[in-house]
Amino acid sequence: MNTAQALDIKTAYFAGGCFWCMEESFEKINGVVDVISGYSGGKTKNPTYKEVTYSDTGHFETIEVKYDPKKTNFQSLLDIFWINIDPFDVEGQFCDKGYSYRSVVFYVSKEEKKLVEKSIETIEKKFNKKVVTFVKEFKKFYQAEDFHQDYYKEKFLNYLIYKKNCGRSETLNRIWNK
């Protein structure tokens, strides 16, 4: 039995615009075992990046976060999610605009849905603004092409240029005072 099988691993799904940036944000969290870039929320089976970005698949760029519930939990991951997105951008995230770049929290249980709804109420009260992040029941996840997995590590300089030009850090600092 390998280590992953020995652990009681849980899974959470988040869409926060560019999945490369989301992958980077979650992989450094204690208790996160793996983060996979992919697509979720739509109707097309086994979509490609090109289809998700340029066609009407209904999918979002999504990350699958596998975590050890003895070290972290859904609420903690949800907190990480919020400070890594702009919950008020109805057009997408940062420089990536369009439906597939909208922010989404996918829930797998009624308990998770309640946590998400409560966190949205808290954010709306704090900022006195409407959160436009979707809350959707998780159905299916499709792993993105290999090229997208660990892109921020494999193509580090390209990734840094993209991230800087996209204004992600500046926007997050402005919203969350990070």
- Active-site positions read 18
The torsion region of residue 94 among left (phi > 0), alpha (psi -120 to 50) and beta comes to: left
Helix (H) or strand (E) holding 26: helix 19-27
Instruction: Look up residue 33 and give its two tokens.
Output: 């075992």
CA 8 to chain centre: 22
Query: How many Cβ atoms sit within 10 Å of the Cβ of residue 77?
Result: 19
In three-state secondary structure terms, 38 is strand
Question: What SS3 state is found at 137?
Answer: strand
Q: What are phi and psi of 152, to 5 degrees?
A: -65, -20
Q: Could you give phi then psi for residue 22, rounded to 5 degrees?
A: -65, -40
| Residue of 22, 3, 20, 5 lying closest to 133 (CA atoms) | 22
